[in-house]
Amino acid sequence: MTTIFSKIIAGELPADIVYQDDLVTAFRDINPQAPTHILIVPNKEIATVNDLAEDDEQVAGRMLLVAKKLAAQEGIAEDGYRLLINCNNHGGQEVYHLHLHLVGGRSLGPMLMRR
């Protein structure tokens, strides 16, 4: 296992883990962009959305369902939040271990930066 997120999942690097099961781990982003900013990460290394395989359907679905549960737990479900996955260079991906950003706790404005 090589990515920084794999080390967090394995307990080799400290992180504020808020959820973990057999398929995914969720922890608070080290550089939060909003009052709630949690990353939901597959326990196995999948580099990008492009690398999802047919048999990753369960883990991909789990990521979304865990996001929903954590949004409720954080108390942001009613007001709303944003789920975001960056992919590769144009998507602004920095860590090549698939992760779903759960961001909320304030009004987030337009979805994309204006050019």
List the catalytic residues: 99
Distance, CA of 26 to CA of 102 (rounded, Å): 10
CB of 97 to ligand AMP, least distance (A): 8
Q: Which helix (H) or strand (E) holds 73?
A: helix 57-74
How far apart are the C-alpha atoms of 26 and 20, rounded to whole Å? 6
- For 12-72, strand residue ranges (E) read 17-20, 24-28, 36-42
30 lies in the binding site for ligand AMP (CB under 6 A):
yes
Interface with ligand AMP includes 64 (CB under 6 A)? no
| Cβ distance to ligand AMP smaller for residue 27 or 81 | 27
Taking residue 109's Cβ as centre, other Cβ atoms within 10 Å add up to 8
Count of positions on this chain that bind ligand AMP (CB under 6 A): 12
Q: Which is nearer to ligand AMP, 28 or 78 (CB)?
A: 28
**Residue 61 or residue 92: which is nearer to ligand AMP going by CB?**
92
Which stretches of the chain bind ligand AMP, using CB under 6 A?
4, 15, 27, 29-31, 39, 86, 92-95
